[in-house]
Amino acid sequence: MCYIYAGRLDIRPSPLAMIGPLLVLVSGAGLLIALAFLMNQLPAAGAALMLLAAMIAVAFGGLGTVHSLMGSYLLVEAEKQSVRFQQGLLGLGLGTRELVPFWKIDHIELADGDLGVGRGPAFPFTMRAWEVVLVKTNGKRLTIGQVTVPEAEELLDEGFSRAYRVAEAVAHLTGRPLVITAALEPETALEPEEERAGKEAS
């Protein structure tokens, strides 16, 4: 999920990303409750293993739930003149993986994304992806995000528009040029359907 504010762009986990960590947290809490009732019936080694598993589940589940609610994968801050990529360790977003000052950015690129999956027999439909990439002055490419949609006309336009809006916002905040190498051009993807239908009819 991408949130665009005045002077700041924030890419956060989807609200659905909270489900996994929350289940782990609930499982850990359940183990602790069960341990409280079964402590006298379990052997010492079994109780110790159960306690260790519960503590690990509660710790990681709690951190993951908090990150899903308030954490970020990427921050673009005009005030600090930097783009910060978070670690994302086990989905927790712990620490900074890479900090890129604006002056080290050559340009922002909107490119065709690498699907990787979606072409086998389990995926009978064709997918299309666009990727927003930060290109540093040394040539290093850092992916900001990717939009993937089924290859249907109405979804292609909507998917490209989402990717374009994010790329445009990052370019505006960083003051760097936006380079579009994707096959679908923004003029086609972003113009109103009525205008496009009129052009096609003529």
**What confidence category does residue 34 fall into, taking pLDDT thresholds of 50, 70 and 90?**
confident
**What confidence category does residue 198 fall into, taking pLDDT thresholds of 50, 70 and 90?**
very low
Give the mean model confidence (pLDDT) for residues 160-181: 91
pLDDT value of residue 118: 44
Q: Tell whether 84 is covered by a domain.
A: no
Region of 195 please: left (phi>0), alpha (psi -120 to 50) or beta: alpha
Q: Are residues 112 and 171 in the same domain?
A: yes
pLDDT, greater one: 78 or 116? 78
Q: Are residues 107 and 192 in the same domain?
A: yes
Average pLDDT, the chain: 77
Which range of residues forms the domain containing residue 168?
Answer: 102-201
Least Cα distance to 25 among 69, 55, 70, 67 occurs for: 55
As a whole number of angstroms, the distance between CA 71 and CA 173 comes to 21
User: Contact at 8 Å (CB) between 118 and 151?
Assistant: no
| Chain segment 87-129, per-residue pLDDT in tens | 655 445 456 678 899 999 999 999 988 765 444 445 556 788 8
pLDDT for residue 186 is more than 60: no
Q: Count other C-beta atoms under 10 Å from residue 13's C-beta.
A: 20
- Cα–Cα distances (Å) from 129 to 51, 120, 135, in that order, read 44, 16, 18
Give the mean model confidence (pLDDT) for residues 26-55: 83
**What size, in residues, is the chain?**
202
Q: Are residues 58 and 120 in the same domain?
A: no
pLDDT, greater one: 153 or 148? 148
Q: Tell whether 154 is covered by a domain.
A: yes
Contacts of 159-162 with CB under 8 Å at 24 or more apart are: 159/128, 159/130, 160/130, 160/184, 160/186, 160/189, 160/190, 161/189, 161/190
Q: Tell whether 92 is covered by a domain.
A: no
- What is the model's pTM? 0.63
Of 150-154, 159-163, 186-190, give the range with the top mean pLDDT.
159-163
Q: Are residues 195 and 107 in the same domain?
A: yes
pLDDT for residue 193 is more than 90: no
